[in-house]
Each structure stands twice: as C-alpha cells, then as structure tokens.
Structure 1
Amino acid sequence: MDASVEGLFLNLARAEDSVSRLDARAQTCGFAEGWATRVDFMEANAWGWLSGEIVDMEDLILHDAEMDARLPDQALRATYGLVRARRRARGLGPELLTAQGAAWLSGHRGEAPALPPSPLAAAAGPDGSAAGHRDLIAELVHQVRTLSRGETADALEAVDEWIQWTRRLPERAPALLRAALALEGWRLVNPLPRQNYVGGVMVAHALRASGRTRSCLLGLEAPRRTKLQPPRGFIAATTVARLAYWLNVIAVGAEMGLGEIKRLELARQVVLRRVGDRRADDRSADLVDLLLARPLVSAPMAAKHLGVAGHTARRLLANLGASVMEVSGRSRYRAWRL
C-alpha cells in the first residue's frame, strides 16, 4: 500500500479512537453542559486567532453575559458569532444542514427548514484490503476534483452545492473520513469567507445528528491553532495529505476535549472536598458550577449568578482554595478560572 494512504488510515484510526473515547466520557460527565459551554468559548477564541481577529477570552465571556467592559468592536462580534453558532447547532437536528441553516448559523435571520438525515451518517467501513483502501481513496480524490469552486457568486447557492456534493460522497467510507472530505471541500469552496467557521460547525453537527457522536459537538478550531495548516501546501499538497491533516485535526480536538474534562473533574473534586463541610446555605457549590461553565469568571458575573453582593462573591472565590486561580493581575475587574 502507498505510504501516504497508509498514513491516512492510521490518522483515521486515531481519530476514530479519540472521538469514541470523548463521546463516551461526555455521556457520563456530570458537568457536560458546562464543559460544552467552555468549548464554545475556546473554539471562538481559537478561530479569532486563526482569522487575525485577536479577541481576549475575557471580552468574549463578558459580552456573552451582557457585561461588556467596553463597546464591542467588529472583531468581538465576529468571533462571538462562533459561540452563537455552536449553541444554535446543539439545539437542532438534521434540519440545520441546509443553505438556510448555514445562513442562520452565520447570524442571518430565518429558520432552517426540514431536511432528510445527514449525508455524513455513520456507515460501514471500507474493504479492509489494500486494494479496497486504494480504490476508496481514488474515489474520494475524484470527488474532490468534481467539486465546483468559485463558480457561483451567491453564497447560499455555493453552500447548497457543497451540501449536495457531500451527499454524493461514497457511503462505504467511514463517517469521520467523509467528515474530513467535507471539511476540505468547504475550504476549497469557501462560500462564507467572513464566517468560515460555519462549515466546521455543520460538519460537527452532522456527525452528532447522525449518531456518530451522541454527547458532544466536536471542536475543530482549537486544534487548528496548535496543529497549523501544512506549509503553503493548499495547492502543492495532495488530497490525501489534506485528508490526513483534517483527520489529525479531528483527533487532536477530541483529545483536547477529553483532557479538559479530566482536568476539570480533578479540580472539581478538589474544590468540592474543600467546601463540602460548610453550612447548607453556603453558595460555594453553585459558584463551582459557574467556574466549570466558563473559562473565566469575574466577580460581577459571580455576584449576578449567585444573587449576592460583589464583595460576597469575591470572598467566596477567594475561599475556594488554590484550585481557583486569579488570572487578571488587576485590582479592579479581576477574573478567576478553575
């Protein structure tokens, strides 16, 4: 078997394992909603970094809480769009996978119409022989070459063409391999350059809607920040190398999500053990829930969440111990994280 094809299927095996472990762990996670919210903010922050829209995590979180420290600028609004898109995606099923759904994710008004099951639905794996692998990859490469690129001026028509193209992908290919191909196709078409995160959200949503992932919406932007694109290889790199790259992104994203769950679980146990013997009306446990749901928490956010005064919120934060760290280094507008 060709070395590049063998490497592609090794990346596929790693992605399958990582995604399955993350999904299984998320199903039993006691703070799955809080973890998903954290991933939304981390994804938005990473997408902004990749797109040249550098936005502080604290500004994103304060904007979400409607407690902006300053007037939101265009970069903040654009980056926050990914947080909104991921939240919208978690609330809908396969009906989101339309051109109208993509417009809705990108911030336009309107509702997504009904749609048949996802084109990225789980399917049986390919023939396990080397010849079967080569035939499958040759078919996928051919599908990429048939993709229309930049031939439609209307963005929603281009999105619809991409969706129709994903439905023609061979069903015998594993779901994650088709997801990688769909991500590469979205990159080539680039129908929404100002909201290019929409393609990743739609692919992650399709995997969840089809049942490949049941308890999580995969993050694809944060791993791209640590696993950058192949060197100037958009044209030079082969389609096989591009697919291997996207599978690597999926695997790294799942591993990052699993690592974050494990870290938060350990920190949660340490903090709850510290506050476990306090009186029944103590609000520390509720504060821990907020810390699990947000990468950063300010005193006004904690006060609003708990319904207490600002100085009480600061005292509760200070009493949670070393697992809760102050990260702002300021005397005013202080922020903490778990």
Structure 2
Amino acid sequence: MTYEIGKLYHETLLGPIAAAEDALARLDERVARSEVGQGFAERADFFDSVSSMWVAGELVHLEDLVLHDAQMDIRAPSHELVIAHRIVRARRRVSRNDPGWAVSRSGIMALAGVGEGSSGESDSAGRAGEGVELDLVDNEALSPELAELDEVLARTQWLVDGNAVGEQRKREPEIVVGELLIRDPDWDEGERIGEWLELAKQVERLPATLAAAVLWDAWEHLEPLHRQHWLGLLLVSDFLRSRGKARSHLLAYAVGLREIPRERRRARDRTVRLVAFLDAMSAAAAAGMKDIDRLTLAKRQLERKATGKRTTSSLPAAIDLLLSRPLVSAHMVAKAARITPRGALNLVSELGIREMTGRGRYRAWGIL
C-alpha cells in the first residue's frame, strides 16, 4: 500500500491554506503572550483526547477523564477511558520534548510503546544462553545425573512442540484464532511507518498547513499502526510545531476535526478531504481563541475575589487548578491546596464557580 502526493489543485486549496496559516499564527501568538497560556495548554490535552475518541467513534466523558487523570475515579475505568488517558499522557510527553521529536521513528516507537532495543537484548540473551549451554556440556561430562536430566527435558520439549515419541516429522504450527482477532500477521507496521516518514520528508517543500493535511490524509490511508491510530493526530500537531506554526503549544487538532462533517472528512475526492483538514485547523484555532478569552475573563474575576486575602490563603492554588483543568472536584482542590475536603468546598463556595454535574455527591465545578 502506497500513498502518492500527486497533483495538488492549488487554485482550490489556496484559500483554505491562507485561512489556516493565519488562524494558527494568531493562536500561537496569543498563547505565547497570554497570562493563561499554560493553563490553556493543559486544558487542551483533555479536550483533544476526548475529541480524538469522538472522531474514532468512541464516547468518553470529559469528567471521567479528568478524574481518572487525578486518580480519583468514581467508577471502574472503561477501555475507552484508558485509551483517552493514554492520549493525554502522550500529548504531555510530546510537549516536554523538542519540536519534531514525535515525527521520527524513535518518537513514534516510543509513543506507541514499542522498544527499539529489543534486538540488542535478544542478542545479549542469546549470548548468555550460549554460555549456559557450554556450562551444561561441561557438567554433563562430569555428572551422569545432569545428563539424564537434560534428556528428560529434551523429551518433554519434544512433546510440548506437538511431536509424539518416535515421530520423525514435526507438526505444522496451529493458527490461534484469538491472535488473529488481536493482530493481523500481514500488517507490517515497520514498513508502513517508514513509508509515512519518507512522505514527511517529501512534504517539506509544501506550506506547513498543507503538508500537515497531506500527512494526516496519508496516515488515514496507510494506517501504519494496527491499534494506535489516534497517534496520527498527535504527530500532525507536532509536525506543525516543528514547522513553527505552533511554537508555544501543541495544537488540539482533533477539536477542529470534530467540527467537520464526516462526509467531508471521508470524501472520495482527495482535494475535498484536504480542504476539510485545512478547515479543521482553522476551527481548532478559533476554538482555542475562544477558550483563551474565556479563561482570561475568568482569571480576572476570580482574582478579584482573592484580593485582600491573607498571604497564606489557599485561593490562589484553587484558581490555578481551575484554570488548568476543564473541571475539578472537591478532592482535587483539597489535594492541590493541601486542605481538607470540607475546606475545599468552602473555597469553591467563596469563588462562586459554576457547578457542572448537578448532583448531590461527586460534584464537579469548572470553567467551560
């Protein structure tokens, strides 16, 4: 399976490219200069994770994800929730590394949880096994008991491999149906990742936003990873960061894709898909600008309520937590401010923030 860049219809793509470039530049400058830029970046991890699952057809509640991240689950985490939290952790890891780190073979393997040092470990293990085997040979010459034990082990291994005593031929390995349900043996992830990385080098000559759209379309077409398809959105965001379009944050690209109808994202015509992906970047930037405006206004209102308080007040810690999470619980506030849950409820009441759940127990508050 290959992906060819082919001919790009710049007449159709020029307008969406200019809009996306302008929107991303404005958002990046706003995040870099805003007093709530750090909180915005931390909140974007949760919004992008939930949106990534939504684009993939899975529903994860934002409240459950935030509480799971704080290790304060109110119920057993589902499989989808675990994947969503993995996306959050992956975004944090990419943000801590240099721009462009994720768009490399080592970065992809690290984020996918596949170690690159397995071959070296196997070689060392093989060498260690050879040493043990030589020792056994020496001991066999010295001890008849060990020789008998080796014979019994060899016979047992012969039976485990599916061979009867006296058989001269080996059975063919049976196909495990459960293994086929989990992983396709014909799915060569290494080759597909290499092809995608080669394509990432070829699109360097294109504008950053158009190159990112082509890379995401290629990721959808090639499907390099068997089970971590969500990683493609993260790689595209890091690619934009490496090209200087999002230096101060990691774009929540899935938030923009969520605003694009599925008919456009899955259209047969590649030009229609590329325009949709470019519009998704503009939508993600617009959503980010609105979130920054909302957080800036909320920060000023909350700081007014903290004016005149004593220097040992826990209100500043509660405000910082509110600005860095989509919603918080009383236990989260208590842990951040190092106070009791009852004291956290008093802080929340004093700040007058909006209650999000409408429940008597396991209540949560936030800025949305």
TM superposition score category, shorter chain reference: 0.7 to 0.9
Q: Residue 315 of structure 2 is aligned with which of 266, 284, 307?
A: 284
Q: Residue 187 of structure 1 is aligned with which of 203, 220, 223?
A: 220
The structure with more radius of gyration:
2
Render the CA deviation track for 1:46-88: whole Å, top value 9, x for unaligned: 1222223212111111111111222222111111121111111
Q: Distance in 2 between matches of 1:66 and 1:286?
A: 19
Give 2:108's aligned residue: 102
Give 1:127's aligned residue: none
| 1:220 corresponds to 2:225 | no
| 1:199 corresponds to 2:232 | yes
What SS class does the counterpart of residue 208 from structure 1 fall into? helix
The TM-score normalised by the length of structure 1 is 0.81
1:180–1:246: 8 Å Cα contact kept in structure 2?
Answer: yes
Give 2:294's aligned residue: 263
Task: Give, as a single letter, the amino acid of the residue that structure 2 aligns with 1:21.
Answer: R
Give 2:138's aligned residue: none
What SS class does the counterpart of residue 319 from structure 1 fall into? helix
Residue 231 of structure 1, CA deviation: 5.0
Residue 195 of structure 1, CA deviation: 2.1
What SS class does the counterpart of residue 297 from structure 1 fall into? strand
Give 1:90's aligned residue: 95
Distance 1:108 1:31, change over 3 A: farther
1:283–1:306: 8 Å Cα contact kept in structure 2?
Answer: yes
- Identity among equivalent pairs (%): 35
Residue 316 of structure 1, CA deviation: 0.3
Task: Give, as a single letter, the amino acid of the residue that structure 1 aligns with 2:207.
Answer: P
Q: Distance in 2 between matches of 1:222 and 1:33?
A: 18
2:237–2:251: 8 Å Cα contact kept in structure 1?
Answer: yes
Give 2:33's aligned residue: 28
The TM-score normalised by the length of structure 2 is 0.75
2:208–2:243: 8 Å Cα contact kept in structure 1?
Answer: no
Structure 2 spans left out of the alignment, 5+ residues? 1-8, 118-183
Q: How many residues align?
A: 292
Q: Residue 327 of structure 2 is aligned with which of 293, 296, 299?
A: 296
Q: Distance in 2 between matches of 1:233 and 1:213?
A: 26
What SS class does the counterpart of residue 17 from structure 2 fall into? helix
RMSD of aligned residue pairs (Cα, Å): 2.1
Q: Distance in 2 between matches of 1:32 and 1:160?
A: 35
Distance 1:52 1:240, change over 3 A: closer
Map of 1:105-120 to 2, 5 A cutoff?
A: 105-108=111-114
2:264–2:273: 8 Å Cα contact kept in structure 1?
Answer: no
Task: Give, as a single letter, the amino acid of the residue that structure 2 aligns with 1:91.
Answer: R
Q: Residue 273 of structure 1 is aligned with which of 296, 304, 307?
A: 304
Task: Give, as a single letter, the amino acid of the residue that structure 2 aligns with 1:76.
Answer: L
| 1:58 corresponds to 2:63 | yes
Q: Distance in 1 between matches of 2:362 and 2:21?
A: 43
Task: Give, as a single letter, the amino acid of the residue that structure 2 aligns with 1:317.
Answer: V
| 1:156 corresponds to 2:190 | yes
Give 1:335's aligned residue: 364
Give 2:343's aligned residue: 312
2:265–2:273: 8 Å Cα contact kept in structure 1?
Answer: no
Q: Distance in 1 between matches of 2:251 and 2:265?
A: 26
What SS class does the counterpart of residue 310 from structure 2 fall into? coil
Residue 224 of structure 1, CA deviation: 1.6
Residue 156 of structure 1, CA deviation: 3.1
Residue 227 of structure 1, CA deviation: 1.5
Q: Distance in 1 between matches of 2:90 and 2:312?
A: 37
Structure 1 spans left out of the alignment, 5+ residues? 112-149
What SS class does the counterpart of residue 198 from structure 2 fall into? helix
Q: Residue 74 of structure 1 is aligned with which of 50, 72, 79?
A: 79
Q: Distance in 2 between matches of 1:41 and 1:109?
A: 26
1:89–1:205: 8 Å Cα contact kept in structure 2?
Answer: yes
Render the CA deviation track for 1:160-206: whole Å, top value 9, x for unaligned: 210111212261x2111111111111111112253222112112112
Render the CA deviation track for 1:192-225: whole Å, top value 9, x for unaligned: 2532221121121122123232101111111222
Task: Give, as a single letter, the amino acid of the residue that structure 2 aligns with 1:181.
Answer: V
Going by fraction, where is helix more abundant, 1 or 2? 2
Give 1:138's aligned residue: none
Residue 98 of structure 1, CA deviation: 2.0
What SS class does the counterpart of residue 169 from structure 1 fall into? helix
Q: Distance in 2 between matches of 1:334 and 1:307?
A: 19
Q: Distance in 1 between matches of 2:61 and 2:335?
A: 21
| 1:15 corresponds to 2:46 | no
Q: Residue 203 of structure 2 is aligned with which of 160, 169, 185?
A: 169
Distance 1:108 1:309, change over 3 A: farther
What SS class does the counterpart of residue 230 from structure 1 fall into? helix
2:259–2:280: 8 Å Cα contact kept in structure 1?
Answer: no
Distance 1:109 1:314, change over 3 A: farther
Task: Give, as a single letter, the amino acid of the residue that structure 2 aligns with 1:192.
Answer: L
